[in-house]
Structures are given as structure tokens and as C-alpha cells.
Amino acid sequence: MIKNIDPSIASYVRPMQMKKRIGLVAHDHRKSDLLDWAAHNKNTLMQHELYGTGTTGGLLAEKLDLPVHRFLSGPLGGDQQLGAAIAEGRLDLLVFFWDPLQAQPHDVDVKALLRIAIVYNIPMACSRSSADFMISSELMETEYERYVVDYGQRLKS
């Protein structure tokens, strides 16, 4: 428990190091946009640890010539693996260019990933503009203490 802070605001902090662990994922019709964005931001991204789902992770590694830790393809469990990494404190940020116009066969997994990112209060960008703002933040270059609410306590009451 953090002293003098309402537990509905923060129950604990999860520190982020200067080198962030960034999840990168995009639906099929958004992959080219994510690849273009990542290439434009390669110099910043190379300072961090990158993670991606199956196809997106492979495309990013090839385009950027950088290592990308790859999870399974999104529909085959990759979105759930990203969510688990967030819950376990193994990811710090999420850039998820999802397709707002096309239903996905794994929509429930997509919704769960978006929800878990909010539950653990990780910075999340779902559009190129929000990704631009996030990656250009001065907080990308420093350690940061992210507030996290312990929703488990709320569920017990």
C-alpha cells in the first residue's frame, strides 16, 4: 500500500526502467501502418526491448533489423500471451494498432488484452497519433513509477 494515496488510485507502484519493454501488435489491415511507424521511430525503439505477436513480430524484426521477442500469432494465443506478460510485469507499454472496422475471430482476446492493459495501468497507444505522443514523451528516457490499483482487493469486498 502506498502511504497517503487513496487505494482506488494506487495500491502499489510498478517501476519501469529506462529501457522499456514494448509490446507491438497490429491487425492485418493495420500492419503496414505499424511497420511504417516503427521504421520512422527505429532510433528510439532500438533503445528498448521489443515484443510482438507472431506475424507482426516477424515483420518488425525484418523491417527494423532489430531483435523482437515473438509470441504466438494473435488468434492462436498471442494476444493472451501479451496480456499475461502485462499482468506478470514483463511489459511496460503496448502499441496496438487494431482494426476498428473489421471483426476479428479472436475479438474476445483483443478485448481482454485492452482490458488488462487498463487494469495494470500500462501506457497504451491504439493509433499512430497516440503512439507518436507516447514514444516522444520524455518519460521514455527515464525511470518511471507506474501506479497500479489492486483490483483483487475490490473483488474480495
Catalytic residues: 79
Q: Positive or negative, the Cα torsion across 67, 70, 74, 75?
A: positive
Q: What cell numbers appear for 151 in the block?
A: 483490483
Within its chain, how far is the Cα of 58 from the centroid? 17
Among 4, 5, 52, CA closest to 24? 52
Q: Please report where in the chains the cell 488510485 appears, as a residue.
A: 9
Among 97, 49, 48, 51, CA closest to 78? 51
